[in-house]
């Protein structure tokens, strides 16, 4: 037993309050080094009367480690605990003070979770686990009202550039809500809709006004109400890291310099505001002179931005915020932001844009979830870049599952493309069958899937601006087979509790192979998903367990003597099998 590999800390993703009477505990051991782990726990003030033992399950593995998990119920909200780790030959106890052969007589040496305070419980909105998101870049989705088109608007469907306009607006979204309902999406994430000079609107001029080229505040309210009538939630983009150059307080700083009453609203290194050798004399997003960074430690800035967050929830009824460049804003501001948003709408979804490990933001006091780009990278590295074999892909997914508390993982925003990335079909080299495999994993993995507008009908494009093409509404120019697949996939997820909230277990992931199989399970429901990530047929034997297994597409029954099945797969093919056990 390699003791140096064993890890636990009584906080973060290792120990977290996941319900009014539940604490999720985790332990890490070297991969394939330990046979079983159990946790001894009880109340620190009544140890002898309350102590109990509970086995832990191995819920994830990566290239180096196994991760063990148990959900325990403190008898009086207080928890002391220790782990018993057994490799089949020897067993040790792990306490806060290290490893011992025998359990210490004094329980004060054990780990402690002092108290499950209700306000510390990580409670993301329950609806998010069941949601299917659809991301819309408003300027390129549909032109429903030509009267508000900007000057120089190009004909719909032309070649996008960083600066041109095609007239997409909110009325265009309203006109196509039936399409979205038929597709099966239940939530929309809009990139910014507030007044700004660019087509992307990430350089805000007025945070309390819908851009006139998109419509009006009243039109946004009409859109939100129409979405809610169809059971569709609405998420807006909060660009609170920075403003735009035309934002009036920044214009005042440009005009008055240090004498401006807004001088402390921004991070200024040197007055007057200027650009020297390509570097602005004030902090910005990247080095973009037109995006000055807010000083969110300034009380006036805080009150202004928190007022914006509250306004659109209270006046228009939006269901949450996606936070742009969220990792460059101070944690104290985000804690105030969460308090403000949750007071206005307790089940609002707070989603941060963070491309790296985001554990510091996922402690229950800031965000509900982050855009899961590490998941994106793992899927693309397996299906597109061919950097991973099945074993490597399983290891990467296991590491993701261990990274955050379960409640955060269940509402992670799982995407395969966005306005910031090349189109999925382009990355797949135009291979729609390969794209389907990636999408299948996205929609059957733990977390909330998001579909980027147009991917479902085969839009292509490289990096920005190529990924921001106009939506294609002519059925003759759409990939109808791909559209039918996404409709089927969304319906599959929405109709299966196990695919939305169930446990995840790898069934097959061998080194050097391209066949990957896993199971999702909840209660008596089981789904086995098998993908063949190669241009040749494959056949694998899987231990599925007892039950009658049926292919959900063909309705054929799989022969499973002894709970095992031989699964045949076409090149870039897949199988989704379902069984109800017990």
Whether residue 285 contacts residue 293, with contact meaning beta carbons closer than 8 Å, is answered with yes
Q: Roughly what angle, to the nearest 10 degrees, separates helices 480-494 and 432-444?
A: 10
Residue of 195, 324, 389, 410 with catalytic role: 324
Known active-site residue 62: no
C-alpha closest to that of 63 among 287, 395, 387, 383: 395
Phi, psi values for residue 250, rounded to 5°: -75, -35
Residue 291 and residue 550: Cα distance in Å, rounded? 54
Q: Are strands 549-551 and 574-580 parallel, antiparallel or unpaired?
A: antiparallel
Asked if 324 is an active-site residue, the reply is: yes
DSSP-based three-state secondary structure for 256: helix
Closest CA to 350 of 329, 386, 325, 323: 323
d(CA 220, CA 306): 20
> Which one, of 369, 448, 457, lies nearest residue 416 by Cα?
448
Collect all residues with Cβ–Cβ distance below 8 Å to 161 and sequence separation of at least 6: 465
Element (H, E) at 265: none
Other Cβ atoms less than 10 A from the Cβ of 317: the count is 15
Are residues 156 and 470 in contact, defined by beta-carbon separation less than 8 angstroms? yes
Q: Which residues pair with 195 in a beta bridge?
A: 206
Can you list the alpha helix ranges (DSSP code H) found in 230-288?
248-256
Rounded to whole angstroms, the Cα distance separating 558 from 39 reads 39
Q: Helix 390-403 and helix 373-383: axis angle, to 10°?
A: 170
Please give the structure tokens belonging to residue 73: 């119920």
| Residue in 353, 395, 410, 456 annotated catalytic | 353
Return the ∠ at Cα 400 (arms to 399 and 405), rounded to 5°.
110
Instruction: Indicate the SS3 state at residue 582.
Output: coil
Three-class SS of residue 232?
A: coil
Please report where in the chains the tokens 């299966």 appear, as a residue: 496
* Cα 486 off chain centre by: 19
**Main-chain dihedrals φ then ψ at residue 95, nearest 5 degrees:** -125, -175
Which residues are CB-contacts of 115 (< 8 A; sequence separation ≥ 6)?
77, 78
What's 108's DSSP letter? G
Q: Which residues are catalytic?
A: 324, 353
């Amino acid at each position: 037993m390699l003791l140096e590999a064993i890890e636990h800390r009584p906080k973060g993703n290792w120990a977290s309050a996941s319900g009014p009477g539940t604490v999720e505990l985790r332990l890490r051991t070297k991969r394939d080094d330990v046979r079983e782990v159990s946790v001894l726990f009880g109340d620190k003030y009544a140890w002898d009367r309350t102590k109990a033992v509970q086995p832990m399950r191995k819920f994830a593995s990566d290239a180096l480690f196994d991760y063990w998990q148990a959900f325990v119920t403190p008898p009086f909200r207080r928890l002391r605990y220790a782990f018993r780790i057994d490799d089949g030959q020897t067993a040790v106890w792990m306490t806060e003070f290290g490893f011992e052969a025998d359990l210490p007589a004094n329980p004060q040496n054990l780990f402690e979770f002092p108290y499950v305070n209700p306000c510390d419980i990580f409670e993301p909105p329950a609806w998010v686990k069941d949601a299917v998101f659809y991301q819309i870049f408003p300027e390129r989705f549909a032109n429903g009202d030509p009267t508000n088109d900007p000057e120089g608007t190009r004909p719909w469907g032309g070649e996008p550039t960083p600066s041109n306009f095609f007239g997409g607006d909110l009325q265009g979204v309203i006109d196509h809500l039936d399409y979205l309902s038929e597709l099966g999406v239940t939530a929309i994430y809009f990139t910014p809709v507030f007044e700004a000079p660019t087509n992307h609107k990430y350089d805000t001029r007025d945070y309390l006004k819908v851009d006139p080229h998109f419509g009006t505040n009243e039109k946004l309210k009409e859109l939100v109400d129409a979405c809610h009538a169809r059971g569709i939630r609405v998420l807006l983009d909060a660009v609170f890291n920075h403003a735009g150059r035309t934002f009036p307080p920044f214009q005042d700083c440009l005009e008055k310099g240090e004498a401006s009453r807004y001088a402390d609203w921004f991070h200024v290194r040197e007055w007057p505001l200027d650009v020297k050798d390509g570097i602005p004399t004030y902090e910005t997003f990247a080095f973009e002179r037109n995006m000055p960074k807010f000083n969110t430690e300034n009380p006036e800035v805080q009150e202004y931005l928190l007022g914006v967050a509250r306004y659109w929830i209270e006046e228009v009824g939006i269901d949450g915020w996606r936070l742009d460049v969220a990792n460059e804003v101070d944690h104290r501001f985000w804690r105030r932001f969460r308090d403000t948003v949750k007071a206005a709408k307790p089940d609002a979804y707070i989603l941060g844009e963070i491309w790296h490990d985001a554990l510091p933001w996922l402690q229950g006091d800031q965000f509900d979830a982050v855009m899961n780009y590490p998941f994106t990278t793992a899927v693309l590295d397996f299906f597109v870049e061919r950097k991973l074999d099945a074993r490597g892909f399983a290891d990467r997914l296991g590491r993701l599952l261990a990274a955050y508390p379960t409640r955060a993982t269940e509402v992670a925003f799982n995407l395969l493309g966005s306005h910031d990335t090349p189109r999925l079909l382009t990355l797949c080299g135009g291979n729609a069958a390969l794209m389907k495999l990636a999408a299948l994993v996205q929609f059957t993995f733990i977390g909330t899937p998001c579909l980027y507008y147009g991917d479902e009908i085969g839009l292509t494009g490289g990096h920005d601006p190529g990924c921001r093409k106009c939506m294609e509404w002519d059925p003759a120019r759409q990939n109808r087979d791909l559209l039918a697949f996404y409709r089927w996939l969304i319906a599959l997820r929405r109709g299966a509790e196990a695919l939305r909230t169930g446990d995840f277990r790898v069934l097959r992931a061998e080194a050097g192979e391209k066949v990957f199989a896993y199971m999702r399970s909840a209660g008596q429901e089981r789904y086995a998903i098998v993908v063949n990530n190669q241009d040749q047929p494959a056949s694998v034997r899987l231990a599925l367990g007892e039950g009658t297994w049926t292919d959900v597409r063909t309705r054929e029954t799989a022969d499973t003597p002894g709970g095992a099945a031989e699964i045949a797969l076409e090149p870039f093919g897949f199988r989704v099998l379902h069984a109800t056990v017990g």
